[in-house]
Amino acid sequence: MFRLPREDFRPTADWTALRERAGLLRRLRLFFDQRGFLEVETPLLSADTVVDRHLDPFSIEVHTPGGARTYWLQTSPELAMKRLLAGGAEAIYQVTRAFRQEELGPLHNPEFTLVEWYRAGDEMAAGMAFLDQLCQAMLGRGSAQQLSYRCAFERYAGLDPLTAPLDALRSAARRTSAPPASFRPDDRDLWLDWILTEQVQPHLGRTRPAILYDYPASQAALARVRDESPPVAERFELFVEGIELANGYHELLDPDLLRRRNAANNAARAADGKHPLPVDSRLLDAMESGLPQATGVALGFDRLVMLRTGAQRIDQVVAFPFDRA
């Protein structure tokens, strides 16, 4: 029976955007190559996965001679790249696909392109400076403003995020829009994230890129915590035109502390109604053997192309987004 071809076989991005994407990728690789970084590849499918409260990986049942095993499409190449650091790598980068469930919208696609890099020996200031250099080289928008998380909240939300009581956070969060009804009244990080997204982030990177740093210790993820009063996580993020473009850490080295954070993240996932993620990983073995001091950064390449081309939606810079994959 004759059938007219469906029009959704066509790419959603036009050829101008796809050529710009290819050119930006060439410049990105050249940037790293000229600075002595080695391009590496790590598995997309692994028995290990990052344990994060908010990141939900895709799982796949793999049949082996020993029986069925659960493997995970990687939300980031972080675990494997740190294993390379422990194995002797000094400066490495990767351009890869990453996968995250329940991420679909103007800035999100469940499958996306991630640029991730690590350099041994760097502290947070060096990691932020390198990220700033890369942003200047790729977007040409001048040097980044560096702003502490605390200062940004005081400036744009009128409160100290590290010391404000919970009732002040809840009151501030409701000033501009209603948070989801599922928010638990005692969950400090959820309220802080809401204020950041709704009140702070829209102001960041408007005249020039902005790097936010020194996050609350409770949001350290895989970053070190600096013992101050109050303590802060040595974590930093890059924003351009209000869009989060990159996330970096002065890397955690203590495997016992990572075990405790993994357990805490799984407890938070359970409270959110999510399934737990496997807490044991080869990264822990790598950390036991000795992970060098390093900074690591993950940058969303699709968003970088959006900012370069002026696109408003991710499907304008990706040939075949989720609904056409």
Beta bridge partners of 237: 212, 247
For the stretch 134-151, pLDDT in tens is 999 999 999 999 999 999
pLDDT at 54: 93
Residue 23 has pLDDT above 90, yes or no: yes
Of 267, 263, 221, whose CA–CA distance to 78 is shortest? 221
pLDDT at 137: 98
- Please state, in angstroms and rounded to a whole number, the distance separating the CA atoms of residues 317 and 16: 9
| Residues in the chain, total | 325
pTM given for the model: 0.95
* Phi and psi at residue 145, to the nearest 5°: -75, 135
Average pLDDT over residues 2-17: 88
* Domain regions of the chain by residue span: 7-144+208-324
For the chain, what is the HEC assignment?
A: CCCCCCHHHCCCCCHHHHHHHHHHHHHHHHHHHHCCCEECCCCCEECCCCCCCCCCCCEEEEEECCEEEEEEECCCCHHHHHHHHHCCCCEEEEEEEEECCCCCECCECCEEEEEEEEEECCCHHHHHHHHHHHHHHHHCCCCCEEEEHHHHHHHHCCCCCCCCCHHHHHHHHCCCCCCCCCCCCCCHHHHHHHHHHHHHHHHCCCCCCEEEEEEEHHHCCCECEECCCCCEEEEEEEEECCEEEEEEEEECCCHHHHHHHHHHHHHHHHHCCCCCCCCCCHHHHHHHHHCCCEEEEEEEHHHHHHHHHCCCCHHHCCCCCHHHC
pLDDT > 90 in the chain, percent = 91
Residue 4 pLDDT level (bands cut at 50, 70, 90): confident
Residue 3 pLDDT level (bands cut at 50, 70, 90): confident
Averaged confidence pLDDT in the chain: 96
pLDDT at 25: 98
pLDDT at 5: 77
pLDDT at 294: 99
**What does the buried/exposed string (b/e) look like for 221-244 if buried means 16 or more CB atoms within 10 Å of the residue's CB?**
bbbbbeeeeeebbbbbbbbbbebb
- Please state, in angstroms and rounded to a whole number, the distance separating the CA atoms of residues 269 and 59: 16
pLDDT at 102: 79
For the stretch 157-178, pLDDT in tens is 999 999 999 999 999 999 888 8
Q: How far is CA 244 from CA 34, 76, 98, 134, in A?
A: 26, 16, 17, 15
For the stretch 253-305, pLDDT in tens is 999 999 999 999 999 999 999 999 999 999 999 999 999 999 999 999 999 99
Residue 7 pLDDT level (bands cut at 50, 70, 90): confident
User: In whole angstroms, how large is the CA radius of gyration of the chain?
Assistant: 20
Judge: domain 7-144+208-324, CATH 3.60.90.10: no
Residue 70 has pLDDT above 70, yes or no: yes
pLDDT at 61: 96
Of 99, 10, 11, 54, whose CA–CA distance to 194 is shortest? 54
Please answer whether residues 250 and 214 qualify as being in contact, where contact means their C-beta atoms are separated by less than 8 angstroms. no
- Please state, in angstroms and rounded to a whole number, the distance separating the CA atoms of residues 127 and 235: 10
pLDDT at 1: 64
pLDDT > 70 in the chain, percent = 99
